[in-house]
Structure 1
Amino acid sequence: MAHTVNFFLRPEPGVLLGIWHTVPSCRGEDAKGKCRCWYEAALHDGNPIIVYLHGSAQHRAAPHRIKLAEVLSDGGFHVLSVDYRGFGDSTGTPTEEGLTTDAICVYEWTKARSGRTPVCLWGHSLGTGVATNAARALEAKGCPVDAIVLEAPFTNMWVASINYPLLKIYKKLPGCLRTLMDALKEDKIVYPNDQNVKFLSSPLLILHGEDDRTVPLECGEQLYEIARNAYRNKDRVKMVVFPPGFHHNLLCKSPLLLRSVRDFLSQQWA
């Protein structure tokens, strides 16, 4: 990608996270030929920052993720695209606790360099669980995230697993759901978005496609209702539903996406 630098962060011993920093396209000419130090200093130039946490398949170089970074860059955002431990060129073994640690590390590293520039955690699919886990932990530390965007979120991993298209055919088999639930519990895989949002105060924007077959729209709607009921300030929670045609991964192709995100964040950060 143009105007992008690759670097690594170490959230804990033995783990290196691969990260792409894409600057706003308006700074593209300035970025030509610059080293990582220049990119790092650019984080406090006043352009808002998004830490992007991707879904469970592939890595940050997946075409739809590159497209999203380009759209956000053209919209005036810095984008830090993260590969969790065990994904892409990042080392380590993925666990729910580990992925949460990775997200917190990148967010705190970014905040330490952003000055007064706000930083948004953006999670897609599995990344929504990582984002709310990290946001809840940061809230508990007295450092609420500046904003959260959840793209195609589920309520929790248990519900997401049952609804996953390939698993639906097993729903009627005796004991299948119990076996799946026990496996998730044994591996401590929960990603409880539905519980996490009850403890958050950060501005929260939910984006969901009407024809999402991987995580059905009803999951996003349920999460929105849970969050809105829990938040004291209802104006801090918003949901945008996208018309058919964008499915689970392609909201980045809708002109509604950038407009919705910019309008929400500018209102919340005014």
Structure 2
Amino acid sequence: MKIDIYTIIGIVLGFTLFIGLVIYFFQHKFFFHAEMLPPDFKFAYDNLKAEEVIVEPEPGAKINYLHFIVDQPKGVVIYLKGNTKSIKGWGKFAIDFTRLGYDVIMMDYRGFGKSTGKRTVEAMKRDCQFIYDLVKKQFSEESIVVYGRSLGSGFAARLAAKNNPRLLILTSPLYSLLRTIHRYLPFMPAKPFLRYNIPTFHYLKNVRCPIKIIHGSDDGLVPLSTAVDLSEINPDLTRLYVILKAGHINIHQFEEYHRVMEEIFNERNVPIDPEKTSIGYSHRN
């Protein structure tokens, strides 16, 4: 049986449309692996003091967040987590910042934990800004650090671009959800079907504070090349730290990750005098 070129084109277009519709209608299941918590759930963590807060950024939506508290804080970290579970499990990571003398604000996105409301990318952006504005009532922006891990990197970069925090830290960041799809479906024109694109790369162009990017060399989900590409967008403000042997979900299990955190938070920006370095030297003479 002979198949003409138009039949082949029709099959390809039909298959592409089918995949596109799957992406459109099921992407919330691909991108968000939420854990919901009952209203009466009690948060408790060893060696951490936390206050639970529920706020209503807009009618029909409630955002649950934890405020981890230290005595005489040096500042506060707004921690935007990845796409799995809830702050029930993520909360333990606040210790990485409380040990350095910083309060931590950690929120659950809509549909995660006790947070409710229709989840759209625009609504999630508004929620993040709403939390940032609440934090500004307690802390000056000069003492606010915005931290984003994995999926949270896009929301963190946007907050830093729209506001003036002291510092932006991105751990295992995504370039964009569109690029993530293209990595697995390189043939697919996914942009028309994408409802949750979060273009970290776009927001970084407008960030005015120092940017620290931390990435594992063995990250199999988001390759190290992603972090390299992101670090080149706003190079004068960006420093990239590579944690050797670390993957996507275990980067915090490496001591070097915590040494990097100490370096970042204790950093003092000392001007470099090119005349007193080898910057102008050449091997040719």
Shorter-chain TM-score: which interval? 0.7 to 0.9
- Cα distance, 1:105–1:262 mapped onto 2, change above 3 Å: farther
- Cα distance in 1 for partners of 2:255, 2:142 equals 25
Question: Higher relative CO (CA 8 A, sep ≥ 6), structure 1 or 2?
Answer: 1
- Cα distance in 2 for partners of 1:102, 1:265 equals 26
1:209 to 193, 199, 216: 216
What residue number does 2:188 align with? 177
- Cα distance, 1:268–1:82 mapped onto 2, change above 3 Å: farther
Counterpart contact for 1:67–1:252, Cα < 8 Å: no
- Cα distance in 1 for partners of 2:152, 2:201 equals 14
- Could you tell me which runs of 5 or more consecutive residues in structure 1 were left unpaired when the two chains were aligned: 28-44, 139-143, 229-233
- Cα distance in 1 for partners of 2:120, 2:141 equals 32
- Cα distance in 1 for partners of 2:80, 2:59 equals 21
Aligned-partner residue type, residue 237 of structure 1: T
Deviation at 1:98, TM superposition (A): 1.2
Look up the SS of the partner of 1:149 in the other structure. Answer: strand
- Could you tell me which runs of 5 or more consecutive residues in structure 2 were left unpaired when the two chains were aligned: 1-44, 271-285
- Cα distance in 2 for partners of 1:107, 1:258 equals 25
Q: How many residues align?
A: 224
Deviation at 1:16, TM superposition (A): 1.2
Counterpart contact for 1:203–1:268, Cα < 8 Å: no
- Cα distance, 1:154–1:134 mapped onto 2, change above 3 Å: same
Deviation at 1:160, TM superposition (A): 1.8
Look up the SS of the partner of 1:247 in the other structure. Answer: coil
Deviation at 1:116, TM superposition (A): 7.2
- Cα distance, 1:268–1:195 mapped onto 2, change above 3 Å: farther
What residue number does 2:259 align with? 259
Counterpart contact for 1:96–1:130, Cα < 8 Å: no
Counterpart contact for 1:101–1:134, Cα < 8 Å: no
Asked if 1:151 is matched to 2:171, the reply is yes
Asked if 1:14 is matched to 2:60, the reply is yes
Deviation at 1:267, TM superposition (A): 2.5
Deviation at 1:264, TM superposition (A): 2.1
- Cα distance in 2 for partners of 1:92, 1:263 equals 39
Deviation at 1:198, TM superposition (A): 1.0
Percent identity between the two aligned chains = 24
Look up the SS of the partner of 2:84 in the other structure. Answer: coil
Structure with greater helix share of residues: 1
Deviation at 1:261, TM superposition (A): 2.4
**Higher Cα Rg: structure 1 or 2?**
2
Aligned-partner residue type, residue 160 of structure 1: T
What residue number does 1:247 align with? 247
Counterpart contact for 1:194–1:226, Cα < 8 Å: yes
What residue number does 1:48 align with? 75
State the TM-score, normalizing by the size of structure 2.
0.72
What residue number does 1:42 align with? none
Deviation at 1:216, TM superposition (A): 1.0
Counterpart contact for 2:220–2:248, Cα < 8 Å: yes
What residue number does 1:224 align with? 231
Asked if 1:190 is matched to 2:201, the reply is no
State the TM-score, normalizing by the size of structure 1.
0.76
- Cα distance, 1:192–1:107 mapped onto 2, change above 3 Å: same
Aligned-partner residue type, residue 152 of structure 2: G
1:199 to 198, 206, 209: 206
What residue number does 2:114 align with? 89
Aligned-partner residue type, residue 261 of structure 2: V
Aligned Cα root-mean-square deviation (Å): 2.0
Deviation at 1:117, TM superposition (A): 6.3
Compare 210-219 and 67-76 and name the one that shifted more. Answer: 67-76
Counterpart contact for 1:224–1:238, Cα < 8 Å: yes
Asked if 1:106 is matched to 2:131, the reply is yes
Look up the SS of the partner of 1:202 in the other structure. Answer: coil
